[in-house]
Amino acid sequence: MTTPPSADITAGLAGTGSVDAGAAGLTSSGRAWQRLRGHRSARFGVAVLLLYVIATIVLPLVIHYDPNRNNLSQAFLPPEGGHLLGTDELGRDELLRLALAARFTLFVGVAAVAIGLAVGLPLGAASGYFGGWIDLLIQRLTDILLAFPGILLALALVAALGPGLKNVIISVGITSIPGFIRLTRASALSIRELPYVEAGRALGVASWKIVLRHIIPNSLAPVIVQATLQLGFAILVAAGLGFLGLGVQPPTPEWGSMLGLSRNYIFSDQALVTFPGLAIFGAVLAFNLLGDGLRDALDPRMK
């Protein structure tokens, strides 16, 4: 029992605890791809994400309203006519703003996960490969980061750093680190015992080369799964910060802050509350479904 049940909150989000590390490498990528294509919910997730990407690129080109231009006489229009989802409290096209917000939301998610990967992968690999006191140190660090439940660590960091795009990315990024450490460590542990790695070590190949050439590539499958699920979680947390008014600051369109600022309209214009939330839900759902599909495809032993 190397991993206590308290491990991997983030992977826990995926629903089946930690992803089994050291599973199929990229050698079986062809079969994995086939399995993924046959995976119904993964296909749905990809479709939704494609829809978002297309919307955020195409809609600003075809909707000829200025996203930041107010027109008070056009405020709170119902979804009809020239405005497919109606207009917001300042007469701005809701659909256009949602589409533009997708850029920021996806960017925050990707950037935060990138931070998580950049820090988590090397630390995890080192932890598993070297073992000993390095492992001990990194594992305790991971425990500490995992001890802050859910959104709390990001919230506390933003409280100290202040709101804004950069600080949200940093805060959510730090929250993503421990999940990646756990995963890479687990693969490193199993891989370092493999005969060819042991042979390499015996021949005096530099440790960093082994980590880079063998450990990290072999952890890729679970890491990809984790990264996908983590993207969903990052979006959920970043939008939560935006909802509280601690995230990306207006007038930059961002789903969480759009939802937070339209809270007062739930009785008068429900569209303004419904759609930003639906957008967040859709994105998180898509990443979760895709993550499920990837896990099933890359590691058929898991169900």
Partner 1 sequence: MGNRVFALLLAAGLAIVGCGTGGGNAPTGSTSKHGDKLTVAIGIDPDNLDPAAQTTTTAQQIVDMMAEALVSIDSKGNTIPLLATSWTNSPDGLSYTFTLRTGIKFTDGTAFDAKAVKFSLDRLLSPETFKAQKGVLNVISQVDAVDDTHAKFTLKSQFPAFVAAMTQTVAAIVSPASVNVPPNTPKQIQQPIGTGPYKFSERQAGDHITMVKNSDYWGTKPNYDTQIYKIVPEATSRETLVKSGQADVIMLPPANDLPALRNDPNLRVIMSQSDRTIQMVINTVDQVVPNLQKKEVRQALNYAVDKDAIIKNVMFGAAVPLEGPMSKTLAGSCPTGSYGYDVNKAKQMLQANGAAGMKVRLISPTGRYVQDFPVAQAVAGYLREAGLVVEGPATSDWPSYVSGIVLATPEKQAQKTDLHLLGWAPAYLDASQQFEQFYSLRAAPKGQESSYYKNPQVDALIEKGNSDPVASTRNKTYCDAAKIVWDDAPWIFLYNQKLPLVTTSKVTGITGVPNEKFNTVYAAPA
Partner 2 sequence: MLTYVAGRLLLAVPTLLGVATIVFMLVRLLPGDPAAVMAGPQATDADIEVLRHQFNLDQPPLQQYGGFLLRLLEGNLGISTRSGHTVAEEILTRAPYTIQLAVLATLLATVIGVTLGILAATRPNTKLDVAISATSVFGISMPVYWLGLMLIVIFSIKLHELHLGGLPAAGASDWSGFVLPTTTLALFSIGLVARMTRGSMLEVLGLDYVRTARAKGANRRTVLLKHALRNAMLPVVTAVSLQFGALLGGAVLTETVFSWPGIGRLLVDSIFSRDYPVVQGVVLVLSVTFIAVNLLTDLLYAYIDPRIRYD
- Select 64 or 303, whichever has its Cβ closest to partner 2: 303
Q: Is 71 in the site for partner 1 (CB under 8 A)?
A: yes
Least Cβ distance, residue 156 to partner 2 (angstroms): 5
* N-to-C CA span, the chain: 21
Taking CB under 8 A as the criterion, which residues in 140-199 touch partner 1?
A: none
Least Cβ distance, residue 16 to partner 2 (angstroms): 5
Report angle CA 105, 109, 112 to the nearest 5 degrees: 135
Least Cβ distance, residue 101 to partner 2 (angstroms): 14
**Pick from 31, 37, 69, 213: which binds partner 1 (CB under 8 A)?**
69
Query: Which residues, in sequence order, are bridge partners of residue 87?
Result: 93
**Which amino acid, 133?**
W
- Select 215 or 246, whichever has its Cβ closest to partner 1: 246
- The H-or-E segment that residue 213 falls in is none
**DSSP assignment of 25-63, as one string?**
-GGGHHHHHHHHHT-HHHHHHHHHHHHHHHHHHHHHHH-
- With CB cut-offs between 5 and 8 Å by kind, which of partner 1, partner 2, none does residue 250 bind? partner 1
272 contacts: CB under 8 Å, gap ≥ 6: 76, 86, 88, 89, 94, 258, 262, 265
CA gap 131, 76 in Å, rounded:
60
Q: Is 274 in the site for partner 1 (CB under 8 A)?
A: no
- Select 180 or 287, whichever has its Cβ closest to partner 2: 287
Taking CB under 8 A as the criterion, which residues in 201-260 touch partner 1?
A: 245, 249-251
- Select 1 or 61, whichever has its Cβ closest to partner 2: 1
**Pick from 73, 133, 149, 195: which binds partner 1 (CB under 8 A)?**
73
Copy the structure tokens of residue 66.
């200025």
Stretch that binds partner 1, among 18-26, 52-60, 61-69, 185-193 (CB under 8 A): 61-69
The residue assigned the tokens 């405020």 is 75
Residue ranges binding partner 1 (CB under 8 A): 66, 68-73, 75-76, 89-90, 245, 249-251, 261, 263-269
